Amino acid sequence: MRAALCETFDYEWGGPGGNTENGGVGSNTDVCLIDQASCGCCLMQQQIYRMKTFFNVSFNELEKELMKTKNILNSVRASRSAFSVSLTKEDSLTCFGPFRGEDRLIVYKHVFINLGDGYNVNTGVFTVPRSGVYSFALTIYSDAGSPANSLAACAALLVNSQVVAGPSEKNTEDQEDSATVVIASHLKAGDKVSISLPAGCFLCDDSNHYNTFTGFLLFATD
């Protein structure tokens, strides 16, 4: 009999949070005095209501935090930027330069990775997609053909057409030489990073990829 009452009982005082208007009962004690058989069920339903309210609020808060985390993750994914390229992938050794009277931008044709499409394979220019600290590595290599020939392996790393680093090797003591430079630089979105071949210098490469240019975002600052 008590179970039936618990299943079909209606709150006489307007349910949890109800008022005492129109003769409603104002407390659990009063309800129990009027209908003791249903008192336990009423209290249980009140507790269930409180628990539902608590869990609904908690769930909404967790959902908000989940959305924040998803937005942060999407922002991180959108800002991923990394590229690594080499001068060529020809089977035989091919040299770029030397050129007289002017510097030339080097267009690295072979792409290992271009995450974010920041590097333009047609111009050789990397455009910074997001303000932050970036790491760049430049390796150069040249082959004079024989020890007696002049060797001029050199290049310049440019940021907005300004020289930031310039590894070079000019001598007649050996047939081939190479050099590497690694830097970290704080750049703004839209900055241009490229490699220039100074006048009189030349680089040689083949499928072994002696000449490489690599860059990636260490962390964003905006």
| Res 94: pLDDT | 87
Q: The tokens of 53 are what? A: 């309210």
- Residue scoring higher pLDDT (33 or 56): 56
For the chain, what percent of residues have pLDDT higher than 70? 74
Q: Is the pTM of this model over 0.85?
A: no
Does the pLDDT of residue 127 top 70, yes or no?
yes
| Helix, strand, coil in percent for the chain, rounding step 5 | 25, 35, 40
Interatomic CA distance for residues 178 and 169, integer angstroms: 7
- Residue scoring higher pLDDT (196 or 8): 196
Average pLDDT over residues 7-30: 46
Does the pLDDT of residue 164 top 70, yes or no?
yes
Q: Dihedral of CA 178/94/212/207: which sign?
A: negative
For the chain, what percent of residues have pLDDT higher than 90? 40
Q: How far is CA 43 from CA 11, 23, 55, 91, 162, in A?
A: 11, 20, 18, 85, 77
- Residue scoring higher pLDDT (30 or 97): 97
| Res 58: pLDDT | 79
